[in-house]
Structure formats: C-alpha cells, structure tokens
Amino acid sequence: MKRVGNIYERIISRENCQAAVIEESRTNRLTRSGRGQELRDNLEAWTSRVQARMSTLPFVPQPTHKFSIMEGGKLRHIEMSSLFDSVCIRAMVRVVEPIIYARMSPHSYCPIKGRGPLKLARHIHKALRKMDYDNRKWMELHPKQKRYVWVLKTDVRKFFPSIGYPIAIEALRRWIKDERVIAMCGSLLKLSGGIPIGAAYSAMVANAVHLE
C-alpha cells in the first residue's frame, strides 16, 4: 500500500477535534474523576482550544505524569499526559490509527478496536473445531497414526519500552507521508524516550512497528 499524506488538515478539523473531546470525556480516567461531564458541558470551548493548539506548530507536549502499578504480577511503569495533551493526541490517533490498522492482518486482534480478546477467542474456537473435524477424517483413513495440534504461546518481554525513537519513527514513516504527523509523534516519543505504557497513541505506534 502507498504512504498516506496530507492528513494533518483532517486531524485539526473542527469535526475531528470535537469528536476527540467527546471520546476523551468518556474514558475511564475522566469518568471516575467526574471531569468528563465538565468537558461535555464546555464542548465548544474545548474544541476551539484543541483546534488552536493543534494548528500551532510544532506541537510541544507537556511533561507526563509517571507512576507504577502492579498488574498480573508485573510491575508496569505508566505515563499519563495532561488532559489537554490527551485530547490533542486523541485527535491525531482518530485519523492515523485507521490508516495503520487497515494494513494489519485480519487476525491481529489486540489492542485493536472492534477486535480484542473476545473475537480472538471465537476465531480460535472456530479453528480448533475445523482442526478436530479434519483430524477425525484423517484418522479414519490412517487409524494407526496419530495427529496432534500444537499451540505456541509466546510473549515479548517489555515490548513497548524496548522500542526506541528511531525504530518507531521509521515504522510510522513507512505508512505516513505527512511530516507534520511524524513530527508530532516524534515529539511525544522523545518526551517518553520511546513508546510509553498507557498513552492513547502507544498501541498505534507499537502496531506500526509490528507491521515491520
């Protein structure tokens, strides 16, 4: 597929910025704190602020809030952007993410909207049922021989933190031609020293690297 250019205008469009404000207001982070309603009550003002910020280049992110949590027996280091930056990042992700994900295998599931672990489980169950049927047919023809289904489970240790700035930017440039988008992603990655855990753009960039 060809690289996609001239998309920054779509990112800073009022329609997209407003949708980003609404989406951010519905995140767990803001729902728990009660600030989500505040954003929706001041939707027009927030939209104008985000659009103005995104239109002023270069995009310079504010320092992130860093903390650690235990999850699944693992210590995870999380980075959280300011609320204003989070909305701006979401506006960018709304446009760039579909471009990246359209190039991914239909059997890539996590963390992709509309797929996820439930859809993955359904696909696995369907594949196993087909294998079971095929095996039974094969055993009828070869009763003295056994066939086995092998499943390989792997994990990449500290995948997000292991991806440095140069690798991430190179992966994004393979699909995105608009240098304004690359510059914005680059400023975010430089701030964190790589792909952080917890940012709205993290999965998008990691999947771009995965495509490589």
pLDDT above 70 covers a percentage of the chain that reads: 100
Neighbours of 147 (CB within 10 A): 11
pLDDT above 90 covers a percentage of the chain that reads: 58
In terms of C-beta distances under 8 Å and separation of at least 24 residues, what long-range contacts does 58-66 make, across chains too?
A: 58/183, 58/184, 58/187, 59/88, 59/183, 59/184, 59/187, 60/187, 61/85, 61/187, 61/188, 61/191, 63/191, 64/191, 64/192, 64/196, 64/199
List, in sequence order, every residue forming a beta bridge with 78; answer none if it has no partner: 67, 197
Q: Which residue has the higher pLDDT, 170 or 109?
A: 170
pLDDT of residue 75: 86
pLDDT of residue 140: 78
pLDDT of residue 50: 97
* Helix (H), strand (E) at residue 179: helix 179-192
pLDDT confidence of 157, banded at 50, 70, 90? Answer: confident
Give me the mean pLDDT over the 187-198 stretch. Answer: 91
- pLDDT tens-digit map of 2-58: 899 999 999 999 999 999 999 999 999 898 888 999 999 999 999 999 999 999 999
User: Which of 64-68, 77-81, 110-114, 204-208 is least confident?
Assistant: 110-114
pLDDT of residue 62: 94
- pLDDT tens-digit map of 99-117: 999 888 888 877 777 788 8
List CB contacts of 16: < 8 A, sequence separation 6 or more.
Answer: 10, 91, 94, 95
Q: Give the chain's mean pLDDT.
A: 90
User: Which of 52-61, 70-79, 80-89 is least confident?
Assistant: 70-79
* Global confidence as pTM: 0.84
Q: For residues 85 and 197, what is the distance between their CA atoms, to the nearest angstrom?
A: 16
Q: For residues 91 and 188, what is the distance between their CA atoms, to the nearest angstrom?
A: 14
Q: Which residue has the higher pLDDT, 109 or 122?
A: 122
pLDDT of residue 118: 87
pLDDT of residue 149: 72
